């Protein structure tokens, strides 16, 4: 069952980019690419060698492997509704958040190691947005722990107490979805299709990577998006249908369609507005945490 959980997470990671591309094509009224076109592109990258600048060190070469490894380890903590995760222990929700942070830290170091001013700007923005998004993620984890009395993902969605506050769970799913937009560098925070270095965030940090290294970074991004999408789907599934056969497809539809619709109907924010956008997510997460705390007190107004 634990292996099935990990396989489903990988399947979700592969399916989400395809749903995003198909949704964008449908809303734009065009045929679009194949559903698995991103896998064909990945195969091309894996068949190419890597070229390294003479100004970079061994740190730059190790970053893609560290990033992908950190995200894969984080996936091991994530359950798919009633399926137990591969790794589970008390407090693993904190380990999940900081394992993802390790991958971000590796990318930032790799970008700074190049000595490029453009990649340095991207690393600075990534560090700022990560520092603002992490409190929101930890508040979501704290809210789930408060509702269930558990500090392990394996128990959070397995207890009946998680389904007792449907409004809170829906709000947590919404916050996780917004965090996924930020962490995956999607509109309105960032645009993965842009080619203007001055406005890039995530993409500009990867300008010097190619071949296998770029493939590792892309796979890591897909897996990170899948992890957050599945957690959001788990929160929704806990309300009425706590089963993996609902949570896994729902994560794909929820994340894929949401990103596709937003990228087809909205423009990316100005850089000066991104900070406000992410702080709003953190404020909403704090409000949800406070609401859950009041609900746990069972206050009755006469």
Say if 290 falls within a structural domain: yes
Structurally, how many domains does the chain consist of? 1
pLDDT at 298: 72
Domain that holds residue 208: 2-294
Say if 302 falls within a structural domain: no
pLDDT at 50: 87
pLDDT at 202: 87
Cβ–Cβ under 8 Å, residues 145 and 293: no
pLDDT at 240: 84
Question: Could you read off the pLDDT tens digit of each residue along the chain, which spans 302 residues?
Answer: 789 999 999 999 999 999 999 999 999 998 888 999 999 999 999 999 888 988 899 999 999 999 999 999 999 999 998 899 999 999 999 999 999 999 999 999 999 999 999 899 999 999 999 999 999 999 999 999 998 888 999 888 876 566 668 899 999 999 999 999 999 999 999 988 877 777 788 888 998 999 999 999 999 999 999 999 999 999 999 888 889 999 999 999 999 999 999 999 998 988 889 999 999 999 999 999 999 888 888 765 44
DSSP string covering the chain: -HHHHHHHHHHHHHHHHHHHHHHHHHHHTS----TTHHHHHHHHHHTS-----TT--HHHHHHHHHHHHHHHHHHTT--BTTBPPSS--TTHHHHHHHHHHHHHHHHHHHHHHTT-HHHHHHHHHHHHHHHHHHHHHHHHHHHHHHHHS--SHHHHTTSGGGGG-HHHHHHHHHHHHHHHHHHTT-TTT--TT---GGG-STGGGGTT--HHHHHHHHHHHHHHHHHHHHHHHHHHHHHH---HHHHHHHHHHHHHHHHHHHHHH-PPPPHHHHHHHHHHHHHHHHHHHHHHHHHHHT----
pLDDT at 296: 82
Say if 300 falls within a structural domain: no
Using CA atoms, how far residue 71 sits from 3, 106, 208, in Å, is 17, 11, 21
Say if 299 falls within a structural domain: no
Q: Long-range contacts: 56-62, Cβ < 8 Å, 24+? A: 56/113, 56/114, 56/208, 57/113, 59/109, 59/110, 59/113, 60/110, 60/113, 60/114, 60/208, 61/213, 62/106
Say if 166 falls within a structural domain: yes
Say if 239 falls within a structural domain: yes
pLDDT in tens, 61-74: 999 999 999 999 99
Cβ–Cβ under 8 Å, residues 227 and 101: no
Say if 301 falls within a structural domain: no
pLDDT at 77: 96
pLDDT at 163: 66
């Amino acid at each position: 069952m634990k292996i099935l959980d990990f396989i489903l997470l990988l399947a979700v990671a592969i399916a989400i980019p395809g749903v995003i591309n198909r949704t964008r094509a449908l809303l734009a009224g065009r045929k679009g690419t194949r559903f698995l076109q991103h896998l064909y592109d990945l195969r091309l990258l894996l068949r190419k060698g890597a070229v390294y600048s003479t100004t970079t060190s061994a740190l730059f070469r190790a970053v893609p492997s560290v990033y992908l490894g950190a995200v894969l380890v984080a996936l091991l903590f994530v359950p798919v509704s009633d399926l137990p995760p591969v790794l589970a222990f008390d407090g693993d929700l904190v380990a999940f958040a900081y394992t993802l942070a390790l991958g971000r830290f590796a990318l930032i170091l790799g970008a700074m190691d190049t000595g490029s001013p453009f990649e340095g700007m991207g690393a600075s923005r990534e560090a700022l947005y990560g520092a603002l998004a992490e409190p929101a993620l930890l508040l979501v984890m704290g809210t789930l722990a408060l509702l269930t009395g558990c500090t392990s993902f394996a128990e959070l969605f397995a207890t009946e107490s998680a389904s007792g506050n449907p409004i809170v769970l829906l709000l947590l799913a919404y916050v996780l979805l917004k965090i996924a937009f930020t962490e995956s560098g999607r509109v309105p925070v960032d645009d993965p299709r842009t080619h203007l270095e001055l406005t890039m965030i995530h993409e500009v940090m990867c300008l010097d990577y190619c071949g296998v290294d770029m493939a590792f970074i892309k796979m890591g991004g897909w897996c990170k998006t899948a992890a957050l999408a599945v957690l959001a789907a788990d929160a929704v599934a806990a309300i009425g249908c706590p089963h993996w056969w609902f949570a896994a497809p729902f994560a794909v539809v929820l994340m894929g369609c949401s990103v596709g619709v937003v990228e087809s109907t909205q423009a990316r924010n100005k850089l000066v507005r991104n900070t406000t956008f992410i702080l709003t997510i953190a404020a909403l997460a704090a409000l949800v945490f406070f609401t859950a705390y009041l609900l746990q007190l069972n206050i009755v107004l006469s």
